[in-house]
Amino acid sequence: MTHQLEIDRINVHLGDQHIIKDMSFSLEEGEIGCLLGPSGCGKTTMLRTIAGFQAPTSGRVIIAGQEICGQQCDAKPEDRHIGMVFQDLALFPHMTVRKNIAFGMRHTKRKAVKERVDELLELVAMTEYANSYPHELSGGQQQRVALIRAMAPRPPVLLLDEPFSSQDTERRVQLAHEVREILKRDGITAILVTHDQYEAFAIADHIGVINEGSMCQWDNAYDLYHTPANRFVADFIGEGVFVCGNTLENNQIQTELGIIQGELSEQFCAGTQIELLVRPDDIIHDDQSQTKATVIAKDFRGAGHLYTLRMPGSTRLLCLAPSHHNHKVGEQFGVRLNLDHLVIFSRELV
């Protein structure tokens, strides 16, 4: 099967720095991908390499079965016909919404341009703003115009470089949902760069977690959360703590929380010192439980509180409890475990 976008063992060096390390991933037509990771991990460099603004040291970029970058070819950015949405949106302030959208279709017949612009304006419910100027629009409306302007020529791949970074967290997630719907309805293949995992969860079919230039895991959001490939992914995705313990026989682990039985994410010999990933949803608030922890911090989240707890032996836990369970810092807090699949890693001894 031909992938719409295929990244094949890309390496990028900047001076003596190895920025992208043997990176590979692919997207099918109409799929949305996301490169997710901390600042400086190489995700924007990877996006620039796809666009043609950064030359790789080795590897290939293939779009719709055609190699556009590799040993045989290195197409200029303007010849790759890739759409891009930048952080600053880059709308032309002296042009109306309609003219902004039509700008990338200068070599298309006038009738086809009008039909495509009308189609896109209707797609994002902005037909009435066709003759408005960017400064007359809200931030969200400007976002939609920038998106459909990039979509207008029907690019084989659309790149989005942290397009929601100027928005607050709640608005970013809302915009991500809206953009996903628009892209899916138009069948556009796209890849987004972000450091915000909730934004990635809201928009992407596949997410690549990157650390220090390497692809740690290319997967869907559910599997990144529940079956992380390594400790970095486990720590970066979602919220959680690592509880120290030792493996026993028969898929058991000895921890301060007691002996835990369950399906292990990885097999270790008995007696191995390990770290167990415990998410807030793995800890259930239960006033009747004999296992008690002390509340050392709380974060009100509307429908619930995220409690930081300390066990008697100093192990820390996170627990997401309904907001009507309102405990003060310093109070005792009954907990029980709700662990089935045990995500464990060898303990890194210092």
pLDDT tens digits for 168-178? 777 788 888 98
For residue 349, the model assigns a pLDDT of 58
pLDDT tens, 298-340?
999 888 899 999 998 888 999 999 888 889 999 998 998 888 7
- The class that CATH gives domain 5-235 is alpha beta
How far, in Å, CA of 191 to CA of 204, rounded?
Answer: 8
For residue 257, the model assigns a pLDDT of 84
How far, in Å, CA of 38 to CA of 209, rounded?
Answer: 9
Max Cα–Cα distance, the chain, nearest Å: 75
Which residue stretches of the chain are H helix? Answer: 43-51, 97-102, 110-123, 139-151, 169-186, 197-203, 221-226, 231-236
**What homologous superfamily is domain 239-346 in, according to CATH?**
Nucleic acid-binding proteins (2.40.50.140)
CA atoms within 13 A on the CB side of 136: 11
For residue 1, the model assigns a pLDDT of 58
pTM score of the predicted model: 0.89
How far, in Å, CA of 23 to CA of 235, rounded?
Answer: 21
CB 143 within 8 A of CB 132: no
Which residue in this structure is represented by tokens 């009308």?
A: 118
- Name 333's bridge partners: 293
CB atoms within 10 A of CB 303: 9
For residue 262, the model assigns a pLDDT of 77
Least confident of 98-112, 167-181, 214-228: 167-181
CA atoms within 13 A on the CB side of 339: 28
How far, in Å, CA of 93 to CA of 82, rounded?
Answer: 23
Does the pLDDT of residue 15 top 70, yes or no?
yes
- Note whether 5-235 and 239-346 share their fold: no
CB atoms within 10 A of CB 218: 19
Quick one: average pLDDT of 224-247? 93
Query: Angle, to 10 degrees, between the axis of helix 169-186 and the axis of helix 110-123?
Result: 130
Quick one: average pLDDT of 142-156? 90
The band of 189, judged by pLDDT with boundaries at 50, 70 and 90, is very high
How far, in Å, CA of 66 to CA of 91, rounded?
Answer: 30
For residue 26, the model assigns a pLDDT of 97
Does the pLDDT of residue 228 top 50, yes or no?
yes
Which tokens hold the place of 122? 């209707």
Q: What angle do CA 231, 279, 276 make, to 5 degrees?
A: 50
For residue 256, the model assigns a pLDDT of 86
CB atoms within 10 A of CB 6: 17
In angstroms, the first-to-last Cα distance of the chain is 47
Quick one: average pLDDT of 188-217? 95
CA atoms within 13 A on the CB side of 190: 32
The band of 350, judged by pLDDT with boundaries at 50, 70 and 90, is very low
Domain range list for the chain: 5-235, 239-346
pLDDT tens, 31-55?
999 999 999 999 999 999 999 999 9
Sorted by sequence, the CB contacts under 8 Å of residue 200 that are 6+ apart come out as 34, 36, 176, 192, 194, 207, 221
CB atoms within 10 A of CB 184: 15
Please return the burial class of 2, using the count of CB atoms within 10 Å of its CB with bins 0-12, 13-18 and 19+.
exposed
Quick one: average pLDDT of 74-101? 89
> Mean pLDDT score of the chain, rounded to an integer?
90
Least confident of 123-132, 145-154, 165-174: 165-174
